[in-house]
Amino acid sequence: MQDRRYNRKMTQQALDLLQKALSLSEEERADLASSLMESLDEKVEQGVESAWNEEISRRIADLDFGKAKAVPWDEIRRRVRTGSFLRRFK
């Protein structure tokens, strides 16, 4: 299987595994892909989850103390549809 869709840097062992995986049912492929992705998540930098939790807590506190203002979902959708949110970044 030397299809251009697949990474040319794959070893023959990886290509063989891929070929076997592609012969699985859709459900089995989805389960396998999920397991592989989870195995990559285990290598996330230490402290990232803690940093995100701190950031979430900070943002909640900003909302609670009036330092930040929530925008209703309907307003966000309108801004996205009209592109008006992009003007803020130009």
- Tens of pLDDT, residue by residue over 39-89, are 887 666 667 888 999 999 999 999 999 999 999 999 999 988 888 777 665
pTM of the predicted model, to two decimals? 0.42
The number of angstroms, rounded, from the C-alpha of 57 to the middle of its chain's C-alpha atoms is 21
Helices and strands of the chain, counted as H and E runs: 5, 0
Per-residue pLDDT band for 1 (boundaries 50, 70, 90) equals very low
* CA distance readout (Å), 8 to 16, 29, 89: 13, 21, 38
19 Cβ contact partners less than 8 Å away, ≥ 6 residues apart: 1
Show the tokens assigned to 27: 């459900």
